């Protein structure tokens, strides 16, 4: 399975079974469904997959960061130049 297919799978799973909010899904699927637009940027897409998999709504609630927040996911999307 390539990294783009993996991103689509993880996004759908975390949205339906996890806490990933609906409003971020279209941005993530923009990346997943357009591999040719992100050729050579697979390392950032892999980072995005990791951040989505480890997304936690409470990631910055305590004194040490655990998991990734929406801000972390948005930062990676910004690096990929993906916007609403």
> Which pTM does this prediction carry?
0.88
Q: Which two three-digit tokens encode residue 13?
A: 């799973």
For the chain, domain boundaries: 3-79
What averages of pLDDT result for each successive group of 10 residues across the chain (84 residues)? 96 95 97 96 97 81 69 96 90
Q: What percent helix, strand, coil does the chain show, rounded to 5?
A: 60, 0, 35
Between CA 42 and CA 63 the distance in angstroms is 32
Instruction: Give the three-class secondary structure for 40.
Output: coil
């Amino acid at each position: 399975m390539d990294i783009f297919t993996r991103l689509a799978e993880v996004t759908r799973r975390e949205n339906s079974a996890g806490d990933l909010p609906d409003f971020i899904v279209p941005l993530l699927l923009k990346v997943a469904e357009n591999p040719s637009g992100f050729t050579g940027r697979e390392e950032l897409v892999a980072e995005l997959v990791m951040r989505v998999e480890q997304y936690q709504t409470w990631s910055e609630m305590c004194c040490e960061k655990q998991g990734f927040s929406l801000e972390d996911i948005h930062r990676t999307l910004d690096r990929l130049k993906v916007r609403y």
